[in-house]
Structure 1
Amino acid sequence: MSQNAWRVIKVGTRQSQLALTQTGQVIDQLNDICIHHRLNYRFEVHKIVTKGDKILDVSLSKVGGKGLFVKEIEQALLDGVIDLAVHSMKDMPYEQPTGLMNGATPKRLSAQDCLVMKEGITSFADLPVGAKVGTSSLRRSCQLKYVRPDLQIEFIRGNIDSRIRKLHTEDLDAVVLAAAGLMRMGWEDKISAYIAEDICVPAVGQGALGIQCRESDEQVRALLQLLNDEQTEITVRAERSFLGAIEGSCQVPIGAQAILVEEEASDVAELSEQGTYYPLIELTAIVGSTDGSVLLKEVMRGRHPEQLGEEIAAQLLASGADRILAEVNLNQ
């Protein structure tokens, strides 16, 4: 690209209010990068309807398949209709189509789940016996039922604003949402309580975005590297490695959260002298039964994200996750 030539980069996204908001925020960051580095790029939003957006009357686990919110967008990338795509990382399957890659993982917001509750209820522990809790996530319902078997889990789908409305229209006591979505919308004041990660381990990649592009597009790849947050990338790689090794889908309650562990300065210095330094990662992962009667959890530490994800998956499979997965596959 010559010094004065401008390239219009077409950005694909779902057309929900949250998807458009987070895409706008990514474009704002990319514009700042372009100004700082004197790059001649402009950005144009392309709204794309996915299969997951069309089917709203059944739970995601019953729709089946992977990539319900990304396949049509990925096809647009492959066809050259768009040049990059902004996804919620938790929507992205482990395997990507040949020719596509994750070009950037921007800095993550909170990975936690949260509750939006009726007035007067201020914590998960305060939910009354037999409370009606709305969610479409098997991961959330499994973990909440494991801790509180008395809860009545009610199926709800839709955008976050419509799910919040259902708190009143469907006489629910609470709805469970990803805190990051509310934060991106500027709706933190709607959060009644955060759910501790020891009660509800987040979805793989929750709170993070995945910016997908074509492997062959060197200009976009170079631009996206300037947007990438290394710490977020490392932790998300560990979580997604677990997802790939466990062969997870929306039909099995699985979750994973990786964090970077504080280390002694002497340990860091010693490792740096030995060559490439990889930070210490702590990965928590769960696999559960769909009814919440069984919940398997492991916590492991390691320095290589892909290896750590594979090792914790192997440990969970050896502890009984293989039987849970086999039962789900048998009933499909």
Structure 2
Amino acid sequence: MPKSDSNKSIRIGTRATKLAIRQAEILSQEIINKKIAKIDNIEIIPIKSSGDYVSASIGPYDGKLLFTKEIDQALIDERIDIAAHSVKDLESNLAAELELYGVLEREDPRDALITTDKFDNIDDLPRNCLIGSASPRREAIIRSIREDVRVIEYRGNFETRIKKLIGKEVDATFLAMAGIKRLNYKGCYILPIETKEFLPAAGQGAIGLIIRKDDTRAREIVTKLNHQESFDCIQAERKVMEKFGGSCFQPLAIHAYYLKNDEITIDAVIYSKSGSKNLHLSGNGTSLTIFDIAGDIGQRLLNYYNEHLLNDIN
């Protein structure tokens, strides 16, 4: 980085929720730890997103952009230098001026069942219990495991969903373990669910670093921050998602991870809305081959979706 840039502030844009701001703080600390900038030269800029104002169903045509577009516009307008997003909130195709250039080291990608009473596993939940979730993926998976449960749409940020649960609006809900750990949340009962039983969303647990394509200073900063193994896995997951146009309204679960021999495994499942039908595909490759493998998996899942699930999901 040129000396003339070393004292310039690094402006981090993020959603104005408690979890999003915490994630920006984690990014800020990484910048300090890697001696890229001192704390006085880092600015966190909270930005309200459209999705933060929505309590009703947002439908399949608004999707993830409701949670990212204001932050991304601030980046395009050069009001911020880096946008810190939960990768699972990102569309597969970003604005033409922007790119996902790196991620911090991935946190726990698992989902967790959150309840006010203690349960040792999903099978112990009461029969016909009411579960709150706005995620088609989580709804499909829980219904594939427990046909008797009822699922209602359950919107809101981390704190709002916990408040609704404590208020007995539902018997249980799901939250990402990454958010639970980042906020050091200790309330309610938390049952982490292994990924083999409950495959996560693409990018779950990762903080994505979005920059303008023409910003060489931000590019240098993110290069120093990027955790390459996490980024390889995230990019493979997003390669599968690209085939579907990136919407979070299909019950699509994807998880890629490194094995000890530097091989990457990717698992992906497309579900019917009811969870009664699904196709599960897996592949293995290196950091050089996994993206072609992921693209092939995505195409095969899309073909299955078009042939067997389109009417069911819509």
TM-score, normalization by structure 2: 0.92
Give the superposition deviation at 1:63: 6.0
Paired AA for residue 306 in structure 1 = F
Deviation by residue 1:239-274 (Cα, 9 ceiling, x = unmatched)? 0000002334122111100011222xxxxxxxxxxx
Give the superposition deviation at 1:195: 1.6
- 1:26 and 2:9 are equivalent in the alignment: no
Say which is worse superposed, 25-34 or 3-12, in terms of deviation: 3-12
Q: Aligned pairs, how many?
A: 311
The one of 283, 288, 302 equivalent to 2:285 is 302
Could you tell me which residue of structure 2 aligns to residue 78 of structure 1?
76
Percent identity, aligned pairs only, is 29
**CA distance in 2: counterparts of 1:5 and 1:207, whole angstroms:** 30
**CA distance in 2: counterparts of 1:71 and 1:12, whole angstroms:** 12
Q: Secondary structure at the match of 1:186?
A: coil
Paired AA for residue 232 in structure 2 = I
- 1:90 and 2:73 are equivalent in the alignment: no
**CA distance in 2: counterparts of 1:188 and 1:131, whole angstroms:** 23
Give the superposition deviation at 1:326: 3.8
Listed as ranges, the matches of 1:62-77 within 5 Å are: 62=60, 64-77=62-75
Q: 1:113·1:177 contact (CA, 8 Å) conserved in 2? A: yes
Deviation by residue 1:77-135 (Cα, 9 ceiling, x = unmatched)? 11111111100000011111122112321100111100111223232121111111111
Give the superposition deviation at 1:190: 4.4
**CA distance in 1: counterparts of 2:37 and 2:156, whole angstroms:** 40
**CA distance in 2: counterparts of 1:198 and 1:66, whole angstroms:** 25
Listed as ranges, the matches of 1:148-297 within 5 Å are: 148-187=146-185, 190-263=188-261, 279-297=262-280
Paired AA for residue 27 in structure 1 = S
Deviation by residue 1:119-155 (Cα, 9 ceiling, x = unmatched)? 2323212111111111110000001101111011122
Distance 1:38 1:149, change over 3 A: closer
Deviation by residue 1:19-66 (Cα, 9 ceiling, x = unmatched)? 0111111111112222xx6789811121111121121222x4456344
Q: 1:114·1:191 contact (CA, 8 Å) conserved in 2? A: no
Distance 1:191 1:183, change over 3 A: farther
**CA distance in 2: counterparts of 1:292 and 1:108, whole angstroms:** 28
**CA distance in 1: counterparts of 2:5 and 2:214, whole angstroms:** 23
Pairwise CA RMSD: 2.2
**CA distance in 1: counterparts of 2:88 and 2:119, whole angstroms:** 29
**CA distance in 2: counterparts of 1:103 and 1:207, whole angstroms:** 17
Q: 1:287·1:296 contact (CA, 8 Å) conserved in 2? A: yes
**CA distance in 1: counterparts of 2:168 and 2:197, whole angstroms:** 25
- Runs (4 or more) in structure 1 with deviation over 4 Å come to 37-41, 188-191
Paired AA for residue 295 in structure 1 = N
Paired AA for residue 165 in structure 2 = L
Q: Secondary structure at the match of 2:128?
A: coil
Distance 1:106 1:166, change over 3 A: same
TM-score, normalization by structure 1: 0.87
Paired AA for residue 50 in structure 1 = S
**CA distance in 2: counterparts of 1:110 and 1:48, whole angstroms:** 26
Q: 2:117·2:189 contact (CA, 8 Å) conserved in 1? A: no
Could you tell me which residue of structure 2 aligns to residue 316 of structure 1?
301
Distance 1:41 1:234, change over 3 A: farther
Could you tell me which residue of structure 2 aligns to residue 267 of structure 1?
none
Q: Secondary structure at the match of 1:192?
A: strand
**CA distance in 2: counterparts of 1:243 and 1:6, whole angstroms:** 39
What residue ranges of structure 2 are gaps of 5+ in the alignment?
none
What residue ranges of structure 1 are gaps of 5+ in the alignment?
264-278
Q: Secondary structure at the match of 2:279?
A: strand
Paired AA for residue 55 in structure 1 = V
Paired AA for residue 291 in structure 1 = S
Deviation by residue 1:150-175 (Cα, 9 ceiling, x = unmatched)? 01112211111121121131342211
